[in-house]
Amino acid sequence: MNNNTSKQQVSFFFASSFVAGWILFSFLQFKTLSNFGVDWYSASVDAGFSYLCLAGAGLIVINNMRYYLPGKEKYWYVVVLSLGLSAVWLMVVRGILWLFLHENTTYMQMLSQSLFIRFSLSFLILGCITMVSLLWYTQQNETAAQERKQELEQLAKDAELFKLRQQLQPHFLFNSLNSISALAGSQPEKARYMIQQLSDFLRGTLKKEDQEWVPLKEEIGYLQLYLDIEKVRFGHRLATAINMSDLAGEALIPPMILQPLVENAIKFGLYDTIEAVSISISASMQDQDLIILVSNPFDENSQPISKGTGFGLSYIQRRLYLLFGRTDLLNSSSQDQVFTAQLIIPQLHSTEQTKLS
């Protein structure tokens, strides 16, 4: 339901309430006056004009609250506004009734004796209308303010995600260009192949939007281009093994969130050794969560590792927090000289993913 439809329904509700209220109170006053011996013509004129003017005063209150909501003085404002409008209403109604019924001395005497009761009744009715209008428009303003706050928070989150991604791409690009530069002189064919793979990789990733989640199998396809680039760089020293269930392959994942994990695994698995190293990537579903494990050999004696080492893991940690508001979705452990990073991606409904995006 859009805002225009909602506003139309609210306007219809207020209009219907005013018409129903005017008919009800007019009928009640007509019956009351008739029971006190007032003729039907005088009772009809009295009831009709009294509550028609009261309905007009109520509309003035509602329009006033629409454009001006009192702050700390709201309760005094309600009392003063209700008293003032009740006094004006009483003078207007008395003038109209005198214009139509001044020849009926019995009725005019009854009118004079009932002025205080009429004033008190109008004050109660207008006071209720004023309070309801105040509460309604205050709630509307608070809702609008909350929506604006959420939009600002979303803009800030999107801006930070964009900044993180812009930091990631040069980080990877510089590493790849350094590798190409190292191969250009000694192995130009490999350098050209690496440039082609890099071109295909960047063409695919630059087309992606941070707000559009992608299936894991599609993300693995782009990741394979990155791995091909690194295999040219490290040759036979780098081997990869990817194990992914069919169900996990269909699970959705934020784009470009795996590559920093794999880059981190290559960095700590290959940089301090001349032996062949195998990087393992596995993905499976557990309940409503996609679990991705990235493992690489690691010599604990050569260089200590700590959770969150490097730009890659800190990038993912921050990005996951911005998307889900959680800090427990990225975990790392080291056992038997194998370092493993565990990434958890909750699988939300499409509407929730749109809200997070």
| pLDDT tens per residue across span 298-352 | 776 655 444 444 556 777 888 888 888 888 999 988 888 888 999 999 987 544 5
Q: What is the pLDDT of residues 63-112, one digit of tens each?
A: 888 888 777 667 788 888 889 999 999 999 999 989 988 888 888 888 88
For 22-59, letters b (16+ CB in 10 Å) and e give beebbeebbeebeeeebeeebbbbbbebbbebbbebbe
| Residue 236: CATH number of its domain | 3.30.565.10
Rg (CA), the chain: 37
On whether both 316 and 192 belong to a single domain, the answer is yes
Are 64 and 205 in a shared domain?
A: no
Same domain, 221 and 101: no
Reply yes or no on whether the pLDDT at 8 is more than 50.
yes
pLDDT in tens, 173-186: 777 787 788 777 77
Q: Are residues 79 and 208 both part of a single domain?
A: no
Residues 142 and 195 in one domain: no
Q: Are 273 and 238 in contact (CB under 8 A)?
A: no
Q: Supply the pTM of this predicted model.
A: 0.55
Report the C-alpha gap between 260 and 171 in whole angstroms: 10
**Of all residues in the chain, what percent carry a pLDDT higher than 70?**
78
Which structural domain, as residue segments, surrounds residue 19?
3-148
If asked whether residues 113 and 214 sit together in one domain, one would say no
Name the residue type at position 342. Q
Q: Which of 8-17, 86-95, 114-123, 135-144 has the lowest mean pLDDT?
A: 8-17
pLDDT at 1: 47
164 belongs to a structural domain:
no
pLDDT band for position 280 (cuts 50, 70, 90) = very high
For the chain, the straight-line distance linking the first and the last C-alpha, in angstroms and rounded, comes to: 22
Question: At what angle are helices 115-186 and 310-324 packed, to 10 degrees?
Answer: 160
Rounded distance between C-alpha atoms, residue 92 and residue 272, angstroms: 94
Whether residue 233 is contained in a domain is answered as yes
Point out the domain boundary residue: 148, 173, 208. Answer: 148
| Residue 293 belongs to some domain of the structure | yes
pLDDT confidence band for 171 (50 / 70 / 90): low
User: Mean pLDDT over residues 228-238, rounded?
Assistant: 80
Query: Is 30 within a domain?
Result: yes
Kind of pairing between the strands at 289-297 and 252-253: unpaired
Assigned domain for 34 exists = yes
The secondary structure of residue 271, as a DSSP letter, is: T
Asked whether residue 248 is domain-assigned, the answer is: yes
* Separation CA 345–CA 285 (nearest Å): 10
Look up tokens 């995600």; give the residue: 161
Q: What pairing do the DSSP bridges indicate for beta strands 277-286 and 214-215?
A: unpaired
Question: Distances in Å between the alpha carbon of 263 and those of 36, 223, 244, 257, 357?
Answer: 93, 10, 19, 11, 25
The number of domains in the chain is 2
Q: How far is CA 197 from CA 14, 209, 344, in A?
A: 65, 21, 29
Q: Which residues pair with 252 in a beta bridge?
A: 215
